[in-house]
Structure 1
């Protein structure tokens, strides 16, 4: 589950009969009803991970496919992969930044969404943005490898 150094996330939907893609995608989306933004699931027995991966702020490459497995009880497997993957444990309860549409990308807003992604893999550390300020990426040995998104995406790209 990786693409050019990008680790990808995945959602899977199973069915006994063929169903429209809308059914699979909506099953992921409906988990959003269980999410309390900034806190987590309303109930620990209710899943939110399919929803949060579906709406993850920095996932911009998405591919979906269906496979028929005739020997299985659940014969149809609908799979979507999202790159880079979301659901980072420390942030799963905040899959996107709340606020006015395009507030973080006013110069490149596209239909209410920020399209300016950072094509580099996720940062290794949470404090990479502060470490990369100024000429930190040139001064600190290894910072470019540990913080590729913060070091290489300096024009408000979404990390």
Structure 2
């Protein structure tokens, strides 16, 4: 049996950076990327390939392009306004390592500080519970579950991200935040009887986003014809700014 719950990079240069200069609570200051947290009673090998990374980026850009072109009809009410300044997303190894390191703590909560020297970093989480080991991720389903919050997205929220929205929208808004242009994700499969003991096998997904979105009172994106207000030096590319 499977149940789903949703919450709102390895280079020498990354490894040599002292993340403790950002914050003592920074994930890469607190934990080694090669280790697992004590909450991981037992870890299970899970496939996470270059193809997965390509898929994650592709799905995000497909959904961002859908919104940017004004093709998303859902909302409260819909449709969603088109976006004039939405960036194209690409993979980033550094924030991916941060995401993987956090996932390896096997604790389904946001980390306190995931920022890097270049960016403030946002985050989406998801977890699957099962009575059996899980060795294969379903990134498409997880990402779609975040995006489906668009069903309760009000048009007024696009111009000003609210402090008290009518329902959970933060995963969706981070996914389509106009100035976000980097993503990096991590995943861990593990056994744990402390959290949801009826379903001891967990698959924990973490995606980090830069630059971070979901700033109170800030616009999610600029409404207007797709890619007509691309920030320099980006240029229009099929509805997005690349």
Q: TM-score range by the shorter chain?
A: 0.5 to 0.7
Kept after mapping to 2: 8 A contact 1:67/1:77: yes
Task: Specify which of 198, 204, 223 is matched with residue 98 of structure 1.
Answer: 223
The number of aligned residues is 112
Kept after mapping to 2: 8 A contact 1:31/1:48: yes
Aligned Cα root-mean-square deviation (Å): 2.4
Q: Which residue of 1 aligns with 2:151?
A: 33
Kept after mapping to 2: 8 A contact 1:14/1:74: no
Deviation at 1:69, TM superposition (A): 2.4
Task: Specify which of 106, 109, 112 is matched with residue 236 of structure 2.
Answer: 109
Q: Which residue of 2 aligns with 1:118?
A: none
Aligned partner of residue 240 in structure 2, secondary structure: coil
TM-score normalized by structure 2?
0.42
TM-score normalized by structure 1?
0.62
Residue 176 of structure 2 is aligned to residue 58 of structure 1: no
Q: Which runs of 5+ in 1 are unaligned?
A: 116-159
Structure with larger RCO (C-alpha < 8 A, sep 6+): 2
- 1:7-51 superposed Cα distances (whole Å, 9 cap, x missing partner): 10000001014451011100110011111022468x955200000
What is the alpha-carbon distance in structure 1 between the residues aligned to residue 201 and residue 121 of structure 2?
24
What is the alpha-carbon distance in structure 2 between the residues aligned to residue 103 and residue 37 of structure 1?
20
Alignment of 1:7-156 (within 5 A): 7-17=120-130, 18=134, 19-39=137-157, 44=165, 46-71=167-192, 72=195, 73=200, 75-91=202-218, 94-105=219-230, 108-115=235-242
- 1:94-148 superposed Cα distances (whole Å, 9 cap, x missing partner): 4111110111039811121012xxxxxxxxxxxxxxxxxxxxxxxxxxxxxxxxx
